[in-house]
């Protein structure tokens, strides 16, 4: 017998959080989120309380947890786009279509009761969190910023009437295609900088970088991400959340900020040490051993995770983003420990960012999908 229950108590919250950790125990490709961050969703002062409404469900088969799903109404996104959409995320289940059917039927019923006419996902509170369902690349390790799921998830949601809305691709960048390409890029960037009176920003440390450029980066994010799929306006709470999450890992060595003659940011790229190896095989909790591993990879990264990229629309077709590509190439060349840079998820129709990587030796290794169903 399959029964779906809405999460109400602390005990049920623990069941919800632990389900995926138990399901993927021993899986070398799954990277757990930080448990403390996931627990914040249940707090009354969580940063998205003003902009979202959400709930959680757990499916039980013969009394044993067999699946879970979260439903989110992102009110800012719906208002921005004139839609009545309910997002689903944190969907995990055993390989039993009836379990998935029960979860989605319950989610859809909740969405209808809230006046929604469409269910879409996996999409989170915002694109600052993990999103998308893995549909290709099941034997590739996830990054800290990416979901991982078994291949049957795709079969389940498609059997339940969900269709593709859009895909993201994830690639590895190994450096410039060749030395000639690198030299051409250097010359091109020098020409563009001179023509538009641009220069790279500098900072002594991560805190110094955030102090000097954080506000400009957030302002540019709002402008450059406005038309992208699934994005929402950055609230003050979201800005604070980003700063809290990034403060420990951000470094000028892994960041590129391009400024105009008035010190205004026109392009930026934030990358962070790849932390996935420190968390694989753990439950995302801050044990002494996990903390030691995290500190090690923060100081001695062998992979870079490219997390946020923004370009002022005014400079979008002026080649300015080439300065960002050049900076990433130099990061890879200057640190022999670095194997590659992970792009994380890039929308398949975001040609501006995809063109950004064309001068790199690039390997597309994963594909993620957002599904949609009209109720």
Higher-scoring residue by pLDDT: 291, 92? 92
Given this model, what pLDDT does residue 185 score?
86
The better pLDDT of the pair 44, 164 is held by: 164
Confidence category of residue 312, pLDDT binned at 50, 70, 90: confident
For residue 299, count other CB atoms closer than 10 A to its CB.
Answer: 9
Rg (CA), the chain: 21
Alpha-carbon distances of 176 from 166, 169, 255, rounded to whole Å: 29, 20, 18
Confidence label for 57 from pLDDT (cuts 50, 70 and 90): very high
Q: Encoding tokens for residue 346?
A: 């890039």
Average pLDDT score over residue span 37-63? 93
Q: Which residue from 349, 352, 333 is spatially nearest to 341, judged by alpha carbons?
A: 333
pLDDT of residue 180: 81
Predicted local confidence at residue 173, as pLDDT: 94
Q: At residue 8, does pLDDT exceed 90?
A: yes
Maximum separation of any 2 CA atoms in the chain, in Å: 70
Which tens digit of pLDDT belongs to each residue from 331-352? 998 888 999 999 999 999 988 8
User: Looking at residue 245, what is its pLDDT?
Assistant: 72
Among all chains, which residue has been given the structure tokens 């990433």? Answer: 328
Q: How far apart are CA 328 and CA 270, in angstroms?
A: 10
The overall average pLDDT reported for the chain is: 91
Tens digits of residue pLDDT in 209-241: 888 888 888 888 877 777 778 777 777 777 777
Res 348: pLDDT = 93
Q: Which tokens in the block code for residue 194? A: 């001179």
pLDDT in tens, 249-271: 888 888 889 998 999 998 888 88
Beta bridge partners, 271, equal 306
């Amino acid at each position: 017998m399959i029964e779906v229950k809405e999460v109400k108590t602390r005990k049920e919250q623990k069941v919800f959080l632990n389900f995926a950790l138990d399901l993927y125990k021993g899986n070398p490709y799954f990277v757990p989120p930080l448990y403390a961050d996931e627990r914040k969703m249940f707090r009354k002062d969580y940063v998205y309380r003003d902009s979202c409404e959400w709930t959680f469900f757990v499916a039980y088969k013969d009394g044993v947890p067999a699946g879970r799903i979260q439903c989110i109404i992102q009110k800012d996104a719906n208002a921005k786009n004139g839609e009545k959409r309910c997002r689903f995320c944190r969907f995990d289940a055993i390989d039993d279509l009836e379990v998935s059917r029960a979860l989605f039927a319950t989610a859809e019923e909740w969405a209808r009761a809230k006046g929604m006419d469409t269910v879409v996902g996996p999409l989170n509170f915002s694109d600052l969190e993990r999103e998308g369902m893995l549909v290709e690349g099941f034997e590739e390790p996830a990054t800290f910023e990416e979901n991982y799921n078994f291949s049957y998830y795709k079969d389940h949601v498609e059997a339940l009437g969900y269709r593709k809305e859009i895909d993201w691709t994830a690639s590895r960048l190994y450096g410039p295609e060749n030395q000639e390409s690198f030299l051409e890029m250097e010359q091109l960037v020098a020409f563009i900088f001179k023509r538009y009176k641009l220069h790279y920003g500098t900072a002594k440390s991560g805190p110094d970088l955030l102090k000097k450029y954080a506000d400009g980066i957030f302002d540019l994010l709002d402008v450059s991400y406005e038309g992208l799929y699934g994005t929402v306006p950055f609230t003050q709470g979201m800005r604070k959340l980003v700063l809290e999450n990034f403060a420990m890992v951000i470094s000028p060595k892994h960041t590129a900020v391009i400024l105009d003659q008035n010190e205004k940011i026109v392009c930026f790229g934030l990358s962070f040490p790849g932390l996935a190896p420190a968390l694989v095989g753990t439950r995302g909790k801050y044990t002494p051993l996990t903390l030691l591993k995290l500190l090690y990879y923060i100081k001695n990264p062998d992979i870079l995770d490219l997390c946020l990229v923004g370009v002022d629309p005014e400079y979008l077709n002026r080649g300015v983003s080439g300065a960002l590509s050049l900076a990433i190439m130099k990061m890879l060349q200057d640190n022999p420990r670095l194997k590659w840079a992970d792009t994380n998820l890039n929308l398949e129709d975001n040609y501006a960012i995809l063109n950004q990587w064309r001068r790199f030796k690039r390997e597309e290794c994963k594909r993620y999908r957002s599904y949609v169903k009209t109720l």
